[in-house]
Amino acid sequence: MSSFVVAIDNGSQSTKVLVVDEHGAVHASARVGLLPYETRADGRCVHPGDDVWDSIAAACRLALGRFKGDPGSIVGVGLCTIRFCRALLDADGRLAEPMMSWMDERVGRPYKHDDEGVAWITTSSGYVSHRLTGRFRDAAGNYQGVWPIDQRTWQWSEDPKAYEDTGMPRSMLFELVAPGALLGAITPEAAAATFLPAGVPVFATSNDKAVEALGAGLSSPRELLLSLGTYVSSMTIGEAGDPGSADHWINFGSRPGQHLAESDGIRRGMWTVSWFRSLLEGDSRRDEGMYSLEASLDREAAEVPAGSDGLMTVLDWLAPAGEPHRRGAIVGFSGTQSRPHIHRSILEAIALTMADHADAMAARLGHPFETLIVSGGGARSALLVQILADVFGLPVRRADVDDAAGVGAAICAAVGAGLHPTWEEAARSMSALADPVQPSADTDAYTALRPVHRAIRSRVAALCEHLPGSAAGDRVVA
C-alpha cells in the first residue's frame, strides 16, 4: 500500500496543498487565495486578521476532502511558507498583531519591543508550525533578513552583538531545526481545523524559494532556476563561503547545509500580472478559477509580435528598498495597442529584467548558465515560457508539477518520514521536468530589445526622482 505526505505551500497570493505519494504523483490538491494586504503610508504591509492560517486550514480541508485514499496512510506533513515575514506572538503562540508581510518596512529593521503582550518573535513558518503542532519550533532555513542567525551553522548566533543589532532577545526566539527534521505532530485542535489526521508528524522545510528549487530539481551550478512568483528571482547552487556581492546574495537551501546563490529580482513580478487581471475583472477572486482570465490574455497576447508593437513596461510597482523613489511605468502607447499588448509587455518586462540580473550573477560567479528551469505560478503560462526561452537564448524546462514548492515540501516530508533514505533518492523519485522549450525565431528580436529595455529602465528610474514624494520632486513641488 502506498504512503502519502501532505505538502503545504503558503505563498504571497495563495496557499496550495498537495497530497503526494512516494513517487511524486499528486493524488489531491487545492488552492485558496489570500486576502489583499492591508497597507499604510508609513510602509506597513500586513496580512489581515489571521489570513495566512485561515487560508492554510481551508486549503487543507479542500485537499483532504478530495483525497480518495486512506487518511491513515498519510505519514507526514511538509510545511513551507513565505520568507522574510515576521510574526509577533503572545505567550500562548497566537498573533499579538497581524503578521507582517515581506513587503512591510519593519521586517528590514531591528525589532523594537514596545508591546508587553509580545512573548515570541518568529517567521510565518514558525507561527503556522505552532498552530499545527503546539511546539515553539521552526525551520532554520526560513530565517533570512534581520535575525540573529549564524549562516554557517544554521543556528542562533553565539555572538551577543547579533542580538543587540537585531533587537531580538534569545528568550523570544523559537528552537531551530534543519530541513527534514521534526517540528512536532498535528494536535487535535489543528486536526479539527484542517482535517489532517491528529498525531501525524510535521517536518521542517526551508524558505519558500529554496523549497521551490528543491521541488524543481535544481541540482547544478550550471542550471538557473527562475522562480515566477509574486517575487520573481533566479537561483543556482551556491557556496556557503560565498560572501555575495552587489549582483547576488547567498540564501539557505532546502537540504541540510546547502546554500543557493540568488540574483536581484522583481519585487512585484507575477503580482503585476494579477494586478492587470484585477483591473479587467473588476473584483478580486479567491477561488481556483482566479487565473482563467490570465489564460485568455495569454492566448490573445500570443498573436502580438515580439516587442508588443513598441510598448515597454518597467516593473517597479514596488520600489527596491534602497531606491524608494522608483515607480513602475508602461511607455510607448500610440493608440494602436490594446489589452493583449499590455499583458505581453508585462511578461516581456519580466523576462528582459531577469535576463540582465541573471547575466550579472553569472559574471560574478564566473560561469554561464546552460539551462533555464522555470517554476512558480508564472510557469503555467506557455507564452511566458516561450518568451523566456527567446530572451535568455536557452532551452527552458518547466517543473512537471505547477507547484514546485509543494513538491519540495513533499520531498522534505518524505525524507523526514523515512519514505526515501537520502535526499538524492527522494528528489530523483519525486521531482521531474517537462521536455525543454527551445528558443524561436523571436530570439533575434529580443536580443535587439534588451539594451533598449535596459535604457528605458534607467531613464524611468531617473525620471522618478522628480516625482512628488522624492527629494528632488518635493523641491520642484515646493
**Helix locations, 70-159, DSSP H:** 124-133
Q: How far apart are the first and last CA of the chain?
A: 74
Task: Inform me whether the pLDDT recorded for 353 exceeds 90.
Answer: yes
pTM score, two decimals?
Answer: 0.87
Residue 242 backbone phi and psi in degrees, to 5: -70, 120
pLDDT tens digit sequence for 184-224: 999 999 999 999 999 999 999 999 999 999 999 999 999 99
pLDDT tens digit sequence for 108-137: 999 999 899 999 999 999 999 999 999 999
* Strand partners of residue 45: 39
Cβ distance 293 to 279 under 8 Å?
A: no
Q: Which of 238, 273, 271 is nearest to 252 (CA)?
A: 238
Q: For residue 19, give Cα distances in angstroms to 25, 71, 72, 411.
A: 8, 10, 13, 12
3-class state of residue 15 by DSSP: strand
DSSP string covering 365-416, please?
HTS---EEEEESGGGG-HHHHHHHHHHHTS-EEEBSSS-HHHHHHHHHHHHH
Task: Inform me whether the pLDDT recorded for 21 exceeds 80.
Answer: yes
The x, y and z cell numbers of residue 188, run together, are 487535535
Q: What percent of the chain has pLDDT over 70?
A: 96
Burial call 173-184: b when 16+ CB within 10 Å, e when fewer: bbebbbbbbbbb
Domains in the chain and their CATH numbers? 4-211+404-430 (3.30.420.40), 218-398+441-478 (3.30.420.40)
Residue 318 backbone phi and psi in degrees, to 5: -130, 115
Locus of grid cell 479587467 = 280
pLDDT tens digit sequence for 76-108: 999 999 999 999 999 999 999 999 999 999 999
Locus of grid cell 490538491 = 29
Of 344 and 12, the one with more pLDDT:
344
Helices then strands, counting H and E runs in the chain, come out as 13, 22
3-class state of residue 83 by DSSP: coil
Cβ distance 399 to 380 under 8 Å?
A: no
Cβ distance 297 to 339 under 8 Å?
A: yes
The x, y and z cell numbers of residue 46, run together, are 500586513
Would the CA dihedral through 334, 339, 341, 342 be positive or negative? positive
Q: What pLDDT shows up at residue 278?
A: 86
Half-sphere exposure of 190 (CA within 13 A, CB side): 24
Cβ distance 229 to 272 under 8 Å?
A: no
Q: For residue 323, which amino acid is it?
A: E
* E runs forming strands in 11-157: 14-21, 26-33, 38-39, 45-46, 74-80, 87-89, 120-122, 137-139, 149-150, 155-156
3-class state of residue 371 by DSSP: strand
Residue 274 backbone phi and psi in degrees, to 5: -65, -35
* Strand partners of residue 227: 233, 375
Q: How far apart are CA 379 and CA 302, in angstroms?
A: 15
Of 157 and 290, the one with more pLDDT:
157
